[in-house]
Amino acid sequence: MSAETVIKKIQDKAQAEAELIKRTGRADAEALRTSIIAEANEKTAVIAKRAKDQAELILKGGVQQAELDNRISYLNCQHALLDRVKEKAKEQIRKYDDKKWFELYLKLIDRYAMNGKVTIQASPEDIGKFKSKAFSAGLFGEEKGLLSKLTKDRLLSDHLTRIVSERRGKAVIFTLDDEPADIEGGVILVGEEYDVDLSYDAILDEIFQQNEKEIADSLFGAKASGK
């Protein structure tokens, strides 16, 4: 075999191998490109879904927050209205005449049925009722024609002692604390076993609590109380 023939075969083989390497390289490159693109698309899809889920979550959270804010605002308006109603009710108690005011407190004192010695701590605006003989005389001075110096000289605490003791069938002695109580209207009863807050605020809070549904239905509609 001549040298030219050998060289020609070597060149042909080298060219064939080069072509194979190029074809293989192109195929590998295409496979790699396809793999990279597929992976990129997969990651893009994952990122897009995550972003969508986060956006929906943020949107849902925003709606829930808005609903919560509206609910809080509505409840605040309800509380503000209830406070105004309580203030109006308190004004009405302040307008009671002497007889009506005393009947209210006598009924409350009767209800709590305290025994023994009871100290009355009256609010600054009501303590005068307990210190004034004229106030008691106006209530009891003409009761059943018993207008007398003894009756006229009795204070309100004396009358409470007499009335409540008769009703209870045992001695209940009421005395007035000379210092006014730190309350806005009404009294506090300090007993030997327990105390009773009969301030205007405490009375109205109890009334509103006991009649919560009826008051809510009246002010805000039949479904407002949720009961």
The pTM for the full model equals 0.60
pLDDT tens for each residue of 70-113: 666 656 666 777 778 788 888 888 899 999 999 999 999 888 87
Angle separating helix axes 133-140 and 156-168, nearest 10 degrees: 50
CB 187 within 8 A of CB 125: no
Q: Which of 125, 68, 73, 135 is nearest to 99 (CA)?
A: 135
For the stretch 42-77, pLDDT in tens is: 777 777 777 777 767 776 666 666 666 666 665 666
Q: Which residues contact 204 (CB under 8 A, 6 or more apart)?
A: 86, 89, 90
